[in-house]
Amino acid sequence: MKVTDIVKRNNVRILGQGQKTLMFAHGFGCNQSMWNALVACFEDNYKIVLFDYVGSGHSNIAEFDVEKYARLEGYAEDILDICDALALENVHLVGHSVSSIIGLLAAKAQPQRFSSLTMVCPSPCFLNLPDEGYFGGFEREDLVELLDLMDSNYIGWANYLGPVITAQSADEAVTDVFINSFCSTDPVCAKVFAEATFLSDYRSELPGSQIPVLILQSENDALASTQVGTYMQAQLANAVLNVLPCKGHAIHMTDASLTAQSMAEFYANRF
């Protein structure tokens, strides 16, 4: 595809100034606007690359392919396509939730393009797998029931999940942003992305990665517990875990200053 086609396909925007590049990858049901508070903390000193995955935000939904985007590797291809189109190198990639794993897949596929990966509230697997000593937080039947709700009552599903993600944030506007984003996403695209997010197991991708990783988690996250963060730090060869004194699964929005401070310290100490 031509550069202009990829920029349009993924609604790519470039902001800020600086020699170093920060690329922000949004999570499931979200779009690039979720990064606004964090972008404001970095755009004076970094070049910022924002985008929407195909099927999310203001991307070109006509490019959505169910088979491709039924696996997280399809979303990693979006990241790599954008990096190739813009000739990006030494990228500091920041991924929220499932995009932490998508970012890891992209970095493993083309390690020469990336300098670091910041994982905001990550999880490689949301399932409880007690026989393997792993607890992602959810039983399979509970996740299947939640996904079925998308088919039977999509608006109700969005109104349920929004407050869970933000942990009933004191700023109701943040919760409303999530609910509105969910509701504005095409239900077919959302269901495909949801299944790829919540029913997948990418734990096997953690070992062997050498990219420097900053794992940021909150003390109380209904979707990704600190136990998951500890597990990921142990599996990744070059990872730092920072549990922030906040709650919820969207700390880049509810606690942007704390998140930015931790990221800035990581970059200053390592790069």
pLDDT along the chain (271 residues), means of 10: 90 94 96 96 96 97 97 98 97 98 98 97 97 95 91 86 76 82 90 96 94 96 95 96 94 95 94 82
Candidate list 249, 252, 255, 262, residue with the active-site label: 249
Contact in structure between 243 and 255 (CB atoms under 8 Å): no
| Global confidence as pTM | 0.96
The CATH label, of 3.40.50.10140, 3.40.1260.10, 3.40.50.1820, 3.10.20.600, for the domain at 3-124+203-270 is 3.40.50.1820
Going by C-alpha positions, the residue among 64, 86, 77 that lies closest to residue 108 is 77
- Is 84 among the catalytic positions? no
Q: State how far the Cα of 109 lies from the Cα of 90, in Å rounded to an integer.
A: 14
Candidate list 218, 221, 225, 255, residue with the active-site label: 221
- Is 249 among the catalytic positions? yes
Q: State how far the Cα of 68 lies from the Cα of 158, in Å rounded to an integer.
A: 24
- Is 97 among the catalytic positions? yes
